[in-house]
Homo-oligomer: A and B are copies of this chain.
Amino acid sequence: MKVLQERIRQEGLILSDTVLKVDSFLNHQVDTELALQIGQEFKRVFGHLPINKIITIEASGIQFAMAAAIALGVPFIYAKKKKAVTLSEAVYSAPVHSFTRQEEYLISISQKYLGSGDKVLIVDDFLATGAALIGLVDIVNEAGAELLGVGCVIEKSFQEGRSLLEKRGIPVYSLARIASMAPGEVHFIDNNPAVDPIQDKAIAAVQEA
């Protein structure tokens, strides 16, 4: 997604070869117009699938899950992060290890809102280690719902998240894939030819299924 890559180049703060800050337009201050365009892009990529629900994790996945949900005309659910194990109601939950904070936390979704009839798209802001997304995948599986794909806004392609998801046979599509970065420079992998995003291998796999 060209406009997103441009914004990352212009406004992204690259603090090291692994840390990228995009809080001026994506995950603290949010450029609403860009967020809506991101939703449309997810629709362009996943819109042919019979998705009836989008799920994400609080907090910074919410604006993109909502944008995708607006574009696809479906509701979305955001998994809650809980530290307490005491839960007041029946939930699906999965542990997630945060590498940034070096702590384990639980994410959970109420059993009332996800079940065997659901066809799910997972959306999140970043795909890096994949830890949080694997947690969501586990929840979708536990609920007996069908996972049709994972869509991320920014992917750090030099980390293992994508391969962990693909090993499980999950189609992954990221709107900006970063091959490498260093203060002052960022290199993207161009996997989104405007002419035909469906030729992306992961998406093609969905079509064939």
Q: Which residues of A contact B (CB under 8 A)?
A: 23-25, 28-33, 35-36, 58-60, 62-63, 66, 69-70, 73-78, 80, 109-110, 112-113
Contact = CB atoms under 8 A, between A and B. Distances in A.
A75 B73 CA distance: 22
B69 A32 contact: yes
Chain A interface, DSSP helix/strand/loop, else mixed? mixed
A67 B172 CA distance: 27
A153 to B, nearest CB: 15
B29 A77 contact: yes
Contact of A63 (B25, B31, B66): B66
A21 to B, nearest CB: 9
A25 to B, nearest CB: 8
B23 A78 contact: no
